[in-house]
Chains A and B, each alone.
Chain A
Amino acid sequence: MKEGFRQSMAWLHTWSGLLVCWILLLVFCAGTASYYRAEITLWMQPELHAAASNTVSTEQAAATAQSAMQERAQGATRWFITLPGERNPALQLGWSKPSKPGEKKKGRRGNFHSEKADPSTGEVLSKPRETRGGEFLYRLHFDLHYMSALWARWIVGFCAMFMLVSIISGIVTHKRIFKDLFTFRPKKGQRSWLDAHNVAAVLPLPYHLMITYTGLVTLMFMYMPSGVTTAYKGDQDAFFSEAFPARAGEAKAAGVAAPLTPFAPLVRQAEQKWGAQVGLVSVNLPGDANATVTLRRAGGRDMSSKQPTMEFDGVSGKLLATYGDDPGGASSTHGVMVGLHIANFASPLLRALFFLSGLAGCAMVATGALLWAVKTRQKQAKALAAGKRPGFGLRLVEALNIGAIAGIPIAFGAYFWANRLLPAGLEERPKEEIACFFGAWALAAIVAQLRPTRAMWRLQLTVGAILLAGLPLLNVFTTQSHLGVTLFMGRGPVAVAAFDLVMLMLGLGLAYAAIKLKPLPARAAKAARPAVKADVTPDTAAGAA
């Protein structure tokens, strides 16, 4: 650290990256999958695949939703209606009921009911198997699991700060960052790992910087509340109502019943004003005299996560207020940063590019950890050749590496296999699927500790490859919407076919990595030089991650 600026930054880069890389790998894998969480959820509910996606106007869909809710959501105090959009052809209906007196309080989740409905008829789409689907993966990347969300977000935020420091110190320390930009020399041992790490990290550098910083920004009021508390003298609510107007109004019920005004004309009025579609309809106190209906504009290609809203009187349909039409500079910046992170605005091609960059991020983390292990093994070469055990740090890192890098694909594979194999009517089905995710991961990690050798790497990469690449085949035996139907007969849904193909490719990537990890010849096994390891390309590295 006293050696000079570049060396100290190199040291910082290594340690800020290494200490948290395994958690970051989970965050990156789950986060990258989240770009397609709606499609993953669709894949995990095969009962919905055949449903014809009738395209109806948003007006008609809103009207259908209204009559369906009047029928099915009796006694609810809030309604949420997500109108059909690019990613989701179905109506999503949700409502929350207050707990009945005497009934044990189930918490916010328990009192909230949601279902999918056909936008042209309002019929509930044939009861699909219960699953958290892609939402589990989305939540996993910041709420983790089996712990309170608050703790998880602090942990993930902590790791994200480490990552930000690692990125910046990495940039500062890299002397020929642009000259070396397109350098990749395969089959050269440690040099190749370094090249792979550089490629995965430097080529998508704008993405990595963006995703890390915007990730912190999405929870910035939790991580850095001091600005709010200082300027508003402790009154955080005042800040939030100024910064995010039209949050859930806490209007009191009048106790007088009154019919809810029809939605269709409200939707028409809003769409005319905005020149864009309505995305979300929420109703406060439906059926009461104090009801209000709030319409929120669908984001479309607008990068900001903050969209304008219009609030209407729930009985007369009169426009009460509009919010968010003219956000200030900083608020817009905040909105765009959050929007960039979640990427709802992206066109299909751009979303695919985000996904690819996310995979590169997984590769960056994995190759970084592997690079450290390889380098450290070389440093200890003499001691190892003399028969000594590897140092504690090296053993720990190598154990964690195999547990995380080979284990995470196994976890994902197990989750998707569980979705197909667990009986549809199983009690607490979503929890069981998630238990399979973690159970498989734990099993893989524990087995890996018993004999953390190259053979174990090959075994686990192979298992991962079979699980992922086997999904399209599993589909043939468990659903009516396998590739034969979705792709070759062209009946779709496109998302389901694409999922199968992507899983196949990732599985093949893992298989390639496993094949390339040939066992070392006997002579070289004793030598410290890591001989020809996997032919690492960003793709296999991504697959291996």
Chain B
Amino acid sequence: MEWIADFLVFALCYAGLSCLCLAMDRHYADLHGRGAEPPLLLRRRLQWGGWLALAFGLAWAMHHSGAGYGTVVWVGSLTGCGLLLIWLLPYAPRHAMLLARVAGVAALLAALVLALW
């Protein structure tokens, strides 16, 4: 069960960071062509969603593993997700975003599993 809890943190971090990246001009353009900018409403939603996902990730990590260990897991997950994203975005932006959706769904599933057990 421990790995599911760790995975939930990781999935939330990936989904959250992807949203935040997509809200940035540079990476929105990676997906939709040079010069494209996200419409204001979408940008707001992505930023809110992104930060919320990250916050949930931290809260869950601290709840499950204690304040210290949880923070370390969260920071480590952010690093890992960040590196993954920075590798995918220039070369395969669509895959990066697809993975973000998968991560979101996986996070929900993991949360469900953890809630029921």
Contact = CB atoms under 8 A, between A and B. Distances in A.
A310 B2 CA distance: 29
Contacts of B79: 203-204, 206-207, 353, 356-357, 360
A184 B89 contact: yes
Interface in A161-204: 181-186, 199, 203-204
Nearest to A181: B82
A178 to B, nearest CB: 11
Given A347-B2, A350-B76, A357-B79, A203 B10 contact: no
A303 B24 CA distance: 36
Interface in B1-33: 2-3, 6-7, 10, 21, 24, 26-27
Given A182-B24, A184-B86, A347 B75 contact: no
A537 B86 CA distance: 8
Interface in B62-90: 65-66, 68-69, 72-73, 75-77, 79-80, 82-83, 85-87, 89-90
A349 B86 contact: no
Contacts of B86: 182, 184, 199, 203, 538
Contact of B3 (A336, A340, A349, A360): A349
A206 B76 CA distance: 9
A350 B83 CA distance: 15
A184 B73 CA distance: 25
Interface string B35-51: 00000000000000000
A207 B78 CA distance: 11
Contacts of B80: 353, 356-357
A89 B7 CA distance: 25
Nearest to B88: A537
B85 A182 contact: yes
A109 B80 CA distance: 40
Given A204-B83, A360-B83, A350 B26 contact: no
A539 B80 CA distance: 12
A372 to B, nearest CB: 22
A388 interface: no
Contacts of A186: 90-91
Interface string A384-412: 00000000000000000000000000000
Interface string A328-353: 00000000100010000101111001
Interface magnitude class on chain B: 20 to 34
A359 to B, nearest CB: 9
Contacts of B75: 206-207
Contacts of B85: 182
A538 B72 contact: no
Contacts of A28: none
Nearest to A180: B26
Contacts of B24: 182
Interface string A471-482: 000000000000
B72 A185 contact: no
Contacts of A203: 79, 82-83, 86
A376 to B, nearest CB: 26
Contacts of B66: 301
Interface in A54-95: none
A370 B21 CA distance: 28
Contacts of A348: 3
A263 interface: no
A354 interface: yes
Nearest to B87: A537
Contacts of B27: 182
Given A184-B89, A349-B6, A349-B7, A356 B83 contact: yes
Contacts of B68: 303, 336
A183 B6 contact: no
A207 B89 CA distance: 23
Given A182-B86, A183-B26, A353 B76 contact: yes
A539 B91 CA distance: 13
B65 A301 contact: yes
A539 B87 contact: yes
Nearest to A206: B75
B90 A185 contact: yes
Interface string A513-544: 00000000000000000000000011100000
B111 to A, nearest CB: 17
Q: Which of B21, B66, B83, B85 has the most CB of A within 10 A?
A: B83
Contacts of B69: 301, 303, 345
A336 B67 CA distance: 13
B80 to A, nearest CB: 5
B32 to A, nearest CB: 16
A538 B82 CA distance: 11
Contacts of B6: 347, 349-350
A203 B89 CA distance: 15
Interface in A295-332: 301, 303
Nearest to A535: B91
A184 B91 CA distance: 10
18 contacts: A181-B82, A184-B90, A203-B79, A204-B82, A301-B66, A303-B72, A347-B6, A348-B3, A349-B6, A350-B72, A353-B73, A353-B76, A356-B83, A357-B76, A357-B80, A537-B90, A537-B91, A539-B87
The 10 residue pairs across chains A and B that have the minimum distance between CB atoms: A353-B76, A349-B6, A203-B82, A204-B79, A353-B80, A206-B75, A537-B87, A184-B86, A199-B86, A184-B90
Given A301-B65, A340-B72, 8 more contacts: A181-B82, A182-B24, A183-B26, A204-B79, A345-B69, A350-B73, A353-B73, A353-B77
